[in-house]
Amino acid sequence: MVSQVKKESFLLWITGLSGSGKTTIGRAVYQKLKSQNLSIVFLDGDSFREILGNDLSHTPEDRIKNAKRISRMCNFLVKQNISVVCSTMSLYKEIHELNQKNIDNYYEIFIECDMEELIKRDQKGLYNSALNGNVKNVVGIDLPYDEPKNCKLTIDNSKKDNLDKKVDQIMDILND
């Protein structure tokens, strides 16, 4: 049984490529934390774009703008004593460094998954469309991804198994 987490607000920044399982894991962590009556919000990168009206494309410049928006929103919430579980791609190291520098109680979790498995999962059809030359600006295909180097935890999610164990690993870092 995982103990109750500390009451200070925090940001769990869960990052990985499309299809890695970051949203599934993030939602499960959020539900577990919410059951402890924490003041907490779940943010997902795709949902965040929709909330703000999808005014940005997926070019590298617009991806950075969006990531900075998400970072600022998370920082705002943490400063209001609201914890955040944020599942987002955040593909550039400058965003990770921005968060580390500016957000108190920042925990970065990298959800790792090999490309072969991501292509199999490809629910949105992104990878196959990019591999066929129909779509551009797909991270991991024609856009590079800066894997986090200073993350608090890396979880291999190449197999969609042991969700509870993966959630408990994240809960454990909140109690260190």
57 classed as catalytic:
no
Distance of CA 94 to the CA centre of its chain: 15
Catalytic residue from among 39, 90, 129, 158:
90
Q: Compute the distance between CA of residue 61 and CA of residue 128 in angstroms, rounded to an integer.
A: 23
- N-to-C CA span, the chain: 15
Are residues 118 and 138 in contact, defined by beta-carbon separation less than 8 angstroms?
Answer: no
Per the CB < 8 A criterion, the answer to whether 17 and 139 are in contact is yes
Among candidates 26, 19, 17, 21, which has minimal Cα distance to 121?
19
As annotated, the active-site residues are 90
